[in-house]
Amino acid sequence: MSLHKSKGLTARAVFILGCVAGLLPFIKDEAKLIENSRMAELEKLRSEAKRLFFVAITRTKEYLMLSSFREIDFGRAKRLTVKVADGIRGSGFARTQASPFFSEVSKHLPKVTTGEELLLKFDA
């Protein structure tokens, strides 16, 4: 379900996938807003996206999983408006940037477990 549809619901576990800059938050026509110096409008949209994200992460009763990815095919990144941290690698992949919401939410959450740590728990 979308973040919008989570309002008012609760679940034992909540998974929010694709927590990378450009997808979360996704601001339609962000580049045009910046280009046209419509920063107040852009900031309003960012605030609404942040509020929506915080609504979604508070829907859980027990488990919260926030997931991102480190690399993406450069062509797909452009189509999805994913922001990339640096240029294209030889393989045609670009490094992504974590959602800016991660840094804000992390101070309110218990210990963060990386994907690698989680996999080690399941392998044991």
pLDDT (tens digit, 9 = 90+) per residue, 34-92? 888 888 888 899 888 888 888 888 888 888 888 888 889 888 988 888 988 766 666 78
Distance, CA of 42 to CA of 23 (rounded, Å): 15
pTM higher than 0.95, yes or no? no
Residue 87 inside a domain? The answer is: no
For 30-55, give one letter per residue: b (16+ CB within 10 A) or e.
Answer: beebeeeeeeeebeebeeebbebbee
For residue 65, what are the contacts with CB-CB under 8 A and spacing of at least 6? 13, 14, 15, 16
Short-list 22, 20, 109, CA closest to 57: 109
Residue 116 inside a domain? The answer is: yes
Residue 84 inside a domain? The answer is: no
Residue 92 inside a domain? The answer is: no
Residue 85 inside a domain? The answer is: no
User: Which residue is it, tokens 């280009």?
Assistant: 35
Mean per-residue pLDDT of the chain: 83
Q: Is the peptide bond before 25 cis (omega within 30 degrees of 0)?
A: yes
Residue 83 inside a domain? The answer is: no
What CATH code is carried by the domain that includes residue 42?
Answer: 3.30.160.800
Residue 40 inside a domain? The answer is: yes
For residue 50, give its domain range: 4-71+98-123
Residue 29 inside a domain? The answer is: yes
Written as one letter, the residue type at 36 is N
Number of domains the chain contains: 1
